[in-house]
Every structure is written in structure tokens, then in C-alpha cells.
Structure 1
């Protein structure tokens, strides 16, 4: 079999502690590219092998083992293979409430975000790399693994984050924020551009341009991303695929399958099996 015929497509998810909102991911590819998507979690990623091209904050980047990649919740991003070679990477997904616990900050008054999309630190990279590899978790009990994880995440946040007082957003940013909240609150119903225009008293043509400028995707595409994130949560809790599709506003199970695989690299059934 030639190199071009050998397709690598391996994905693993796990929750080391089922009672904590912490998910580990491992992906190894040579033909798959992730569509633009968002996460509700803070994401910390490492490249173990090869190079990865990524779309972040409206620009294209290339990452290798020298980078610790940090992505804030709700930041649209995408990634794909670079130089037609395979790559392998690991990600740690932390729900905002976990970050709140780690930092012991009052988030009613403070707002946390990663300062840069990536930074380099060989000590942190090596320590985090060991912790996120699923085959290494057996070396720890749950308590010791979580203690080690909190320590390294604390180091990352000290180096590459800032807690600032909420800033006064310009009107356009405030509008986009309100629309995003509207889509998150109504992800399970069918929403049209006219519905949004009416809800926020704005020209749908003007709004469409503003939304894409600020988020890099259309409102409809963003709604699909929100629905996939909600579907992941339902599947982790053990809901059936057909019920998940219905509850997330997808037309049918086939529609869910298509969007879900483009974003996660797995079918909903394959993803569900990691958590049940």
C-alpha cells in the first residue's frame, strides 16, 4: 500500500474524572481537516508529531511541538494537516467553571481570557504532554492526576492569561454578543435571519456583514456550531442519537451526523461510545 493510500484517522476522548468537566482528546490524522468550529470550554492543545495548520482569530498559523496552543471559549477556529504530512495532537478541554475553581477568582467582577493564541515553554509542554496522554493516566490515581493538572494549568494561566475588569464594548461588539446569547438560548428551534433582524431591530443585510466580520462565520454556521456543542453534551450524558438530533434542532439524524463528523472527526455514535 502506498503512502497516499494509507489513511490515518484515529481519535480518542476520555474523562479521567467523570464528576469533573474535564475532557481529554487525542487526534492522529493524515487526510482529515476540521471545519471551523467553537468550543464552550477553554482549550489547551499540544502537537506531538508533525505540523498543524490552524485558523485562529481570523489568521492562518502553523504550529509544531514548540507551541502550546490556547483557545478561549467561543473562539471560531479550524485546523488541518500541513505539508501533506500526518500530525498528532492532544487537547485538554476545561469548562469555565473549572477555570474558576482553579483560579479562585470572582468572575462576577473579573473576566479571564488567554492573552495569546500560543506560547513556548519546554517545561510546561513536557509536563502537560505526559498528563494528557491517555495511556499515562494509569500512573496516577484520580486525586493525584487532578493535583498535577491543576498545577500545570495554573502555570499556563500565570504565563498566558489576564484577568481584567469587564471592558465597555463598542456597540457592534455588544450587538454580536447579544445575538450569540440569543442563539445559545434558542439553539433547539428553527431561527431565520428575519427572526434575528426583528429581534434586534437591525437590517438583516447589515447584520449579516457585521456578524461574519466579527466571528468569521455566518449566523447560520454559528448556530450549527452551537448545536454540535450541545449535542456533545447530550451524548456525554447518554442520550440517544435520535433524541439528541431532535433536542438540538437538527432536521434529522443524518443532518446531525454530517455536521458532527465535520467538526469532531467522529460520528455521534462513535463519540458517544467514549463516554458510556
Structure 2
């Protein structure tokens, strides 16, 4: 069966530290391993939703809420024939913390079965542009209930050790080469790849690509031309940039930028 065309829409609202929304309709593209600074709160609308974490694979049925924590490595393979439909709220970690009385928030259970919260979030997903429904207040209320019922204040702990963190903070990935890792770490590149993935949850190539995507998002938000963003962020050309941006974000760079220019 021929793949359906992905009909994804990206929106940004001037509330809650810049709330971002992704409405994915019959999405057939795979989202590779990546992470967001935000909490991702997804409503599963059509077909079972698959999420890969670094240590397990999860399946979220239609009618559930699938959550990834801030900076949590995950991937989302989509159905290649009929696609997956879902709606994601990208909520700032600062907003989530404020809604929890300035305490840390961690969702241990990634798949939430809660019909009342789902129904409210689904209503809001359909009416985020409706100025008559008190959208911001209702969303904050729904998120507060979600946090109070289904999260913990446990500190999120990731495995990245100090040596790798210093490397990630100081290395210029524009000139990074796996063949030079032996001089930096005293190990061959194959062991480095294994340790890198163990510590970060990503391969070096995916990590570098994700850094480029994050840089490009910031430049697009500031109104830079797509061609200049592509070149400045180290992509071969606009076509290469479009392809990789959509793999990680779900929409192409122009659609993403339009969401910020339309406010």
C-alpha cells in the first residue's frame, strides 16, 4: 500500500513560556532518537503509538496519554501503511515545575490511562485557537491534575559522566571526527561509539545532528532565511536540511517558522 501523505501542523502560542503544539495526522515518518527540553504530552488518536526509550519499547493504545520527560531520550516509529495520528503539547519544564509548587516533576509511567484528563486535553487540542474557552487556564488546570495524579518529585538522573559531559560541552562538532577520539580518550572509535551511546542514549552522529536541529530551530524562530540556516548549521543544502528537520520535528522548516511568524 502506498504511504499516505503526512498532514502535520505545528503551532506556537504566546502563553506558558511559548507553548508549542504538533497536530500529526496519519503520520508515517519515523522520529529518530532525540530529546526535547520540554515535556512532551501526546494524545493518541489513531493507531497504537510506539515509543522507544533507551531501555525499553512501549505501546500506547488509542485514547491514552503518552509522556516523555524533559531531556529524556526517545524515538517514535510510525506505522508505514495507515500512519499514526496524535496531538502533542510541548510544555516548558519551568511551567511544569511551577504547576507543581516549584518541585521537580518526573513521570515514571509513560503511558497514562485517565479518561477525564484525556477528554479535557483532547477538547483543548481542538479549540486552542478559540478565545472563548479560557484555554490557558483550562490547560493549566488539566496539567496540574495530571501532575498531581501521575507524577513524582523524584530527581531525574541521567548517566552522562563528568568526562563525557566535559567533552559534550567543549567539543566543536563542526570539526568532530571519530578517528580523532583515540587522542582525546585513549580508546578506539568503536569503543567510543559504544560508550557514547551508553552515556548519552544517542550515537555520536545522531547527537551531532540533533545539536544542529536545535540550533536551526533557534535561528528559524528569529526569522533567519531557511537557506542561511541550512548552511550555517552545517547541512549540505536546503533539501538535506528539510529532510532531516522533518524527521526530528514532524514538519518542515518553513511550516515550523510560519508557526512563530503568525503570532
SS in structure 2 at match of 1:58: coil
Q: Report what 1:20 is aligned to.
A: 17
Q: Secondary structure at the match of 2:85?
A: strand
Unaligned runs of 5+ residues in structure 1 are none
Runs of at least 5 residues in structure 2 that lack an aligned partner in the other structure: none
Q: Is the 8 A contact 1:25 1:92 kept in 2?
A: yes
Kindly provide the CA deviation profile for residues 234-265 of structure 1, in whole angstroms up to 9, marking residues without a partner as x.
21232211332244343443432231122233
Give the TM-score, by structure 1 length. Answer: 0.80
Query: Within the alignment, does 1:122 sit opposite 2:112 as a pair?
Result: no
Change (3 A) 1:258 1:43: same
Cα offsets for 1:190-223 (capped at 9, x unmatched): 3233666655666644332122234443122112
Alignment CA distance shift 1:242-1:190 (3 Å): farther
Matches within 5 A, 1:1-276: 4-5=1-2, 7-17=4-14, 20-29=17-26, 31-82=28-79, 84-105=81-102, 111-133=104-126, 136-140=127-131, 144-164=134-154, 173-175=159-161, 179=164, 182-183=167-168, 189-193=174-178, 204-276=189-261
Matched-pair contact (CA < 8 Å) for 1:236–1:275: yes
TM-score normalised by structure 2 residue count: 0.83
* Structure 1 residues 221 and 112: alpha-carbon distance in aligned structure 2, compared to 1, 3 A threshold: same
Kindly report the root-mean-square deviation, in angstroms, between the aligned alpha carbons of the 2 structures.
3.0
Specify whether residues 257 and 184 from structure 1 end up closer, same or farther in structure 2 by C-alpha distance, changes over 3 A only.
farther
Say how many residue pairs are matched.
261
The structure-2 alpha-carbon separation of the partners of 1:46 and 1:196, relative to structure 1 and needing over 3 Å to count, comes to farther
Q: Deviations over 1:162-187 (max 9, x none)?
A: 223576x7xxx242x76357546767
Aligned CA distance change for structure 1 residues 131 and 57 (closer, same or farther; 3 Å): farther
In 2, are the aligned partners of 1:56 and 1:117 still within 8 Å (CA)?
no
Contact 1:187 1:227 in 2 (8 A): no
Secondary structure of 2:147 counterpart: helix
SS in 2 for 1:256: helix
Inter-partner Cα distance in structure 1 for 2:236 and 2:142: 42
Change (3 A) 1:116 1:201: farther
Q: Deviations over 1:123-175 (max 9, x none)?
A: 00000111123xx1233359x211111111111111232223576x7xxx242
